[in-house]
Amino acid sequence: MEKFKNRWEITKNWQLTFPILGVVLLVLTAYYFSRRLLHFFNLNNTSFEWVFTLSVSIVFFYIFLRISLWCFEKLKNKWIVEYRWQMIAIFIVFAITGSTSLRVGRPIMRHLGITQENLQPIIYWVLYIVVGLIFYQVFLVIFGWLFGQHKFFWNFEKKMLKRMGLGFLFRKL
């Protein structure tokens, strides 16, 4: 355990919540993907269902873990953080924000009467992405604050909006 704590620069026990939450979310994501694959191959309600789900979940978990660790290595010099465990919190915030912004955007569009049935598909998807992007900006700062990474995400937000041509929103008058 000490080796793990040293690798991720964990100095207090409460900081272990981020790696634990990260692993739990990876397990849930692997399970979700394996269940989707199960339904794609019409193996649900068969004798192979749980064997398939368990084995494919383990494979997906391993793949997602390797990808995550590879991303940590690539970004450790680019993202300025005090401790390595903060990168786990940042990854979790990005995952939750992306999922939440699109999940919130669809019902709001439906409430406004914007559906695929009453619009051309291209216009619908462009609006869906724009609405999702608006919520993404807001949720990024909110979830960043909730996970104790407000400074990182506020700077990230300003940088992203400047690249989108909206940097004038942050100029001092």
The answer to whether the predicted template modeling score (pTM) of the entire model surpasses 0.85 is no
Taking only the tens place, the pLDDT of each residue in 1-19 is 889 888 888 888 899 999 9
Domain boundaries, the chain: 1-78, 81-173
- Angstrom distance (rounded) from CA 13 to CA 17: 8
**Mean pLDDT value of segment 155-165:** 84
